[in-house]
């Protein structure tokens, strides 16, 4: 007994930080996801020339809280013949997989819950793939034909695009040489360039595959409102539905983080090693100062006093964050004592790293939302054809050619920016070959069947 208590104390002393971070993420993530949904609704409104939620709170900022309360107090309906164990388990599996995947991500060089996992990126990708069971079992447990069909379609789509996403990740990992997340970003620092610039086709394939992986438009046939009711989520109401929703948006954040880490430089600023571009370090504080000034300029135009105070508060917040961001950069300029500069380095990496990471993830999510409101959705057979006949050959050929390009690069001693000379032609050739394969196939299909209806289960 004595040994047990002593061991428990030692365990808590060693691992208290990851435990607290994990608990914090699980507690705070629903709130963050709620606000991501609000941002999506506001963006949707903006692209549709309207205002979006404006009633609840100033400019609709308390809308997520109202939504959360509504979902929590809704009646929990279970279909008649549904399998109660599996009905309970399915949303839990989805959310559990998504949240567990968040544990392997790194927001800055020091912000990581599970530090230094040998298999970093693979852990995140593999665990988030466990969410498929939440979908399939949820659709089956609902004891409804539409749910089951939606679930089977959704999981078939997820499985198809997982292969393409994996091969695209392999292509990025060819440059990194390791699966450890911190080492991948360090490799990008050494190359002086993001891997997304070195392997643009791989980034493009991962972008498209990740949209399909998270069931977002234009690949959201299984859960769109006008098709199949709501697919596998039809019979889940109230809190269970909110769990699925949370899982979907958490998956979006996880996928955006993986793409950011591997292709967009993680927490590095653009071109981290070219010193004549160091003025880019000043862009984050300047951006926030600009937002603060904009808020200040809009203050007199607000109708009510409380809204003016709110705008002033937002402006104050922006200026505070700008000061926090500017401090490490100013300390690193040559006008200051060098010892102070070296003391400020970890702060610079942590704070600016966090800013750039969140900025890139937000840009990725903005792209997701932009696509949702712009492009019509794919029919299911078109979706499967895109995955199997275009993306998978493209990503496999891309891996081959980028491998050849890297060998050529190491023979010619190309490094950093010069490696582009080898990889860009390889990417272009891969794209041309894959498009050629697709064109040949479409030609043969057109010659074969003169007008047969497409098989919806194909």
Partner 1 sequence: MPLRILMLDQVIFYFFAAIAVVSAILTVTRRNVVHSAIFLITALLATAGIFLQLRAEFLFIVQIILYVGGIMVLFVFVIMLVNLDVAVRQLQFARQKWVAMLISLALAAQVGLMLWSTGKMPGQGMPVLVAAPVDKLPPNSEAVARSLFETYLLPFEIASVLLLVAMIGAVVMAKKRA
Site residues for partner 1 per CB under 8 A: 3-4, 6-7, 10-11, 14, 83, 85-86, 89, 117-119, 122-123, 125-127, 129-130, 132-133, 136-137, 140, 148, 152, 155, 159, 162, 178-179
**Residue 112 bridge partners (DSSP):** 106
Q: Least distance in Å: CB of 104 to partner 1?
A: 10
For residues 9 and 217, give the distance between their C-alpha atoms in angstroms, rounded to a whole number.
49
Q: Least distance in Å: CB of 351 to partner 1?
A: 30
Choice between 109 and 134, CB closer to partner 1? 134
DSSP string covering 385-447: HIIIIIIHHHHHHHHHHHHHHHHHHHHTT--GGGGHHHHHHHHHHHHHHHHHHHHHHHHHHHH
For residues 227 and 233, give the distance between their C-alpha atoms in angstroms, rounded to a whole number.
12
Choice between 27 and 449, CB closer to partner 1? 449
For residues 99 and 293, give the distance between their C-alpha atoms in angstroms, rounded to a whole number.
37
Choice between 111 and 133, CB closer to partner 1? 133
Choice between 137 and 369, CB closer to partner 1? 137
Q: Least distance in Å: CB of 285 to partner 1?
A: 39
For residues 435 and 85, give the distance between their C-alpha atoms in angstroms, rounded to a whole number.
47
Choice between 137 and 431, CB closer to partner 1? 137
User: Which residues lie below 8 Å from residue 231, measured CB to CB, with a gap of 6+?
Assistant: 139, 146, 147, 150, 151, 153, 154, 222, 223, 224
Choice between 14 and 339, CB closer to partner 1? 14
Sign of CA dihedral 223, 227, 231, 235: positive
Q: Which letter does DSSP use for residue 56 in this model?
A: S
Q: Least distance in Å: CB of 457 to partner 1?
A: 10
Q: Least distance in Å: CB of 278 to partner 1?
A: 34
Q: Least distance in Å: CB of 171 to partner 1?
A: 17
What are the structure tokens assigned to 120, written together?
């970093």
Contact 184, 263 (CB under 8 A): no
């Amino acid at each position: 007994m004595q040994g047990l208590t002593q061991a428990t104390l030692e365990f808590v002393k060693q691992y208290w930080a990851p435990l607290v971070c994990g608990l914090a993420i699980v507690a705070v993530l629903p709130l963050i996801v709620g606000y991501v949904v609000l941002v999506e609704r506001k963006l949707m409104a903006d692209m549709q020339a309207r205002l979006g939620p404006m009633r609840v709170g100033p400019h609709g900022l308390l809308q997520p809280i109202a939504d959360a309360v509504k979902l929590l107090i809704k009646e929990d309906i279970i279909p008649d013949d549904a399998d109660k164990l599996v009905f309970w388990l399915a949303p839990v599996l989805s959310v559990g997989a998504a949240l567990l995947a968040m544990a392997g991500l790194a927001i800055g060089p020091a912000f990581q819950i599970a530090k230094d996992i040998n298999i970093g990126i693979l852990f995140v990708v593999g665990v988030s793939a466990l969410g498929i069971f939440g979908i399939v079992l949820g659709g089956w447990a609902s004891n409804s034909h539409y749910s089951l069909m939606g679930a089977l379609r959704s999981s078939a789509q997820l499985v198809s695009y997982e292969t393409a996403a994996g091969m695209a990740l392999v292509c990025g990992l060819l440059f990194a040489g390791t699966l450890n997340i911190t080492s991948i970003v360090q490799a990008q620092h050494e190359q002086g360039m993001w891997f997304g610039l070195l392997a643009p086709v791989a980034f493009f394939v991962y972008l498209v595959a990740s949209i399909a992986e998270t069931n977002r438009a234009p690949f959201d046939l299984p859960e769109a409102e006008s098709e199949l009711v709501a697919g596998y989520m039809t019979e889940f109401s109230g809190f269970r539905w909110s769990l699925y929703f949370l899982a979907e948006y958490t998956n979006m954040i996880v996928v955006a983080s993986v793409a950011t880490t591997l292709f967009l430089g993680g927490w590095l600023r653009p071109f981290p090693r070219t010193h004549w571009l160091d003025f880019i370090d000043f862009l984050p504080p300047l951006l926030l100062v600009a937002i603060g000034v904009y808020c200040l300029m809009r203050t007199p135009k607000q109708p009510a006093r409380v809204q003016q105070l709110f705008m002033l508060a937002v402006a104050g917040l922006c200026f505070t964050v700008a000061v926090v961001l500017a401090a490490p950069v100013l300390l690193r300029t040559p006008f200051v004592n060098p010892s102070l500069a070296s003391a400020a380095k970890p702060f610079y990496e942590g704070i600016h790293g966090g800013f750039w990471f969140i900025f890139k993830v937000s840009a990725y999510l903005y792209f997701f939302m932009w696509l949702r409101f712009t492009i019509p959705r794919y029919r299911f057979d078109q979706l499967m054809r895109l995955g199997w006949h275009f993306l998978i050959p493209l990503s496999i050929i891309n891996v081959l050619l980028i491998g050849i390009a890297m060998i050529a690069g190491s023979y010619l001693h190309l490094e950093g920016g010069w490696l582009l000379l080898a990889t860009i032609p390889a990417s272009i050739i891969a794209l041309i070959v894959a498009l050629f394969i697709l064109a040949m196939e479409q030609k043969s299909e057109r010659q074969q069947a003169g007008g047969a209806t497409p098989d919806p289960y194909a």
